[in-house]
Amino acid sequence: CRNLERGGLSWCDQPPQDGIEARGGGCSGLKPPLLRGCTRGGNCLEGGGLKHIQNPPHELVILRGGSCTQISDEGIVKICRGCHRLQSLCVSGCSNLTDASLTALGLNCPRLKILEAARCSHLTDAGFTLLARNCHELEKMDLEECVLITDSTLIQLSIHCPKLQALSLSHCELITDDGILHLSNSTCGHERLQVLELDNCLLITDVTLEHLENCHNLERIELYDCQQVTRAGIKRIRAHLPHVKVHAYFAPVTPPPSVGGSGQRLCRCCIIL
């Protein structure tokens, strides 16, 4: 099938390397593959299989490898070295990846616009620092559960990534108000930022919402389980940015015990089954 343009391998539990080579070797027009959910597909990237799909390799623009739990740094490094036009990479759930993958992206893929790296819990500030300093076209980043990153990553993004529009930091529990301050005072904060997800960022307070008042294009903020954010803080930012959608949750207040009551008392958020 020399005219084949599209084909996917998503959720194939054990895609063989020789099969991938055969798939790509004679198909010069084959678009980049979908590899999501290939839970044992590490060899697709570690060996020579995937390189046969990009023909020539530098034409690869989008690679989706989300939830391929066996994908390694070695595979990502090989892809990056051959695909300097790469613009979008999804490796969410590829839990074995480390800063070596971010380094390869930073050194080889300056056109990168979208990085989805949710649940890549080994990635650190050092890797994102190198990435930010070299990938100035970044527009969307999903860093949910990148639990090792701190405000340092936000500082680097604020300095080097002026086109950033959407950023997910959910469950990044080391992020503080100070990191959001740098982000909101940056070019991307003033001119580009539209979506910011901060669910379960336990150190975030109403001060963050005050900083975000500078982000005039902000459309949506996620604040679920940010326990130090108050209704008053949300009301204040809505007054400054009336178009913004703020998603938050406040647990019902437990009622005080009734005077002289001897019956069973339950929190209003509890249900008897």
For residue 250, what are the CA distances in angstroms to 129, 132, 262? 35, 35, 29
Rounded mean pLDDT, 157-186: 98
Q: What is residue 46's predicted lDDT score, i.e. its pLDDT?
A: 46
What is the strand order of the sheet 166-168 is part of?
A: 62-64, 88-90, 114-116, 140-142, 166-168, 195-197, 220-222, 245-247
**Spatial distance between the Cα atoms of 144 and 90, rounded to a whole number of angstroms:** 13
Q: What is residue 62's predicted lDDT score, i.e. its pLDDT?
A: 82
Q: Which one is predicted more confidently, 103 or 6?
A: 103
Q: What is residue 252's predicted lDDT score, i.e. its pLDDT?
A: 75
Residue 215 has pLDDT above 70, yes or no: yes
Residue 23 has pLDDT above 60, yes or no: no
Q: What is residue 69's predicted lDDT score, i.e. its pLDDT?
A: 73
**Weakest mean pLDDT among 171-185, 227-241, 247-261:** 247-261
* Residue 132 DSSP code: H
Q: What is residue 58's predicted lDDT score, i.e. its pLDDT?
A: 58
Rounded mean pLDDT, 39-58: 45
Domains of the chain: 17-247 (3.80.10.10)
**Spatial distance between the Cα atoms of 220 and 243, rounded to a whole number of angstroms:** 9
- Picking from 36, 39, 32, the residue whose alpha carbon sits closest to that of residue 59 is 32
Residue 217: other Cβ atoms inside 10 A: 15
As a whole number, the mean pLDDT across the chain is 82
Confidence of residue 39 (pLDDT cuts 50, 70, 90): very low
Q: What is residue 17's predicted lDDT score, i.e. its pLDDT?
A: 53
Q: Which one is predicted more confidently, 88 or 13?
A: 88
- Which residues are CB-contacts of 171 (< 8 A; sequence separation ≥ 6)? 144, 145, 147, 199, 200, 201
